[in-house]
Amino acid sequence: MTFKTSYLTYRHVGEYVEDFLKKYHSSLKLPIPIEWIIESDLGLHIVPFPNLYKIFSQSGFLSADRTKIFIDEYQYDNFVEKYRFTLAHEIGHFIMHKSLYEGLPFNSEQEFIEYLQSRPTKGKHLSHEFCSYASNELAEPFEVNPVVVEIRIRQESFAEKFKDYYL
C-alpha cells in the first residue's frame, strides 16, 4: 500500500502556514502557542506514545481519523523544540492532506501501527547516532536547529546520495 500526495513547493507550504497563522494566531507573538491551537482551536488530542521513534522511526503521526496527534513520549518529555516542530509538522498533514486521510483504509491506530511495522525499509539506513552527530555539526554553520538538519538528512535520502563518501 502506498500513499500519493502532490508535491508542494516551500512557497506553497508557506502559503498554508500564513493562512493558518492568520486564522489561529494573527498576533504572531512568539512563541506560537501550538499546543493551545491544537487542543483548543482544532479540538485534537496530543497523545504521548512510548518508544514511537525507537520502534517506528517516527517522531509523531496524525491518527487516521484526524482527532489525535501521537508523539514520541521521550521527545514529549525531554526535547521541547523537537516536540513543537513535530506538532507543527503533523498539523501540516492535518491541514494539507485532509482528503488523503479521509481515504485511508485504517479503522484504528492499531491498524496503522501494523501497517508501519509491515513496511519494507528502503535503501541504506543511517544510524540515529550518525544522523545526530552530522546534524549537530551542520547546524552551527547554518545557524539552524540540529533537529531540522536531521530531518533533512533522513527525508532527502542523503544516505543513498552520498554513500560513496562514507563507505
pLDDT digits (tens, 9 = 90+) for 33-61: 999 999 999 999 999 999 988 888 889 99
pLDDT number for residue 43: 97
pTM above 0.75, yes or no: no
pLDDT digits (tens, 9 = 90+) for 81-131: 899 999 999 999 899 887 777 777 777 767 766 766 666 554 456 666 667
Local confidence band at 166 (pLDDT 50, 70, 90 cut-offs): very low
pLDDT number for residue 36: 97
pLDDT of residue 167 exceeding 50, the answer is no
What are all long-range contacts of 15-21, with beta carbons under 8 Å and residues at least 24 apart?
16/92, 16/95, 16/96, 20/91, 20/95
Average pLDDT, the chain: 80
Q: Which of 105-109, 142-146, 157-161 has the lowest mean pLDDT?
A: 157-161
Joined grid coordinates for residue 147: 533537529
pLDDT number for residue 150: 80
pLDDT of residue 158 exceeding 70, the answer is no
Residue from 61, 157, 163 nearest 115 by CA:
61
- CB-based contacts of 158, cutoff 8 Å, min separation 6: 126, 152
Sign of torsion, CA 99 103 107 112?
negative
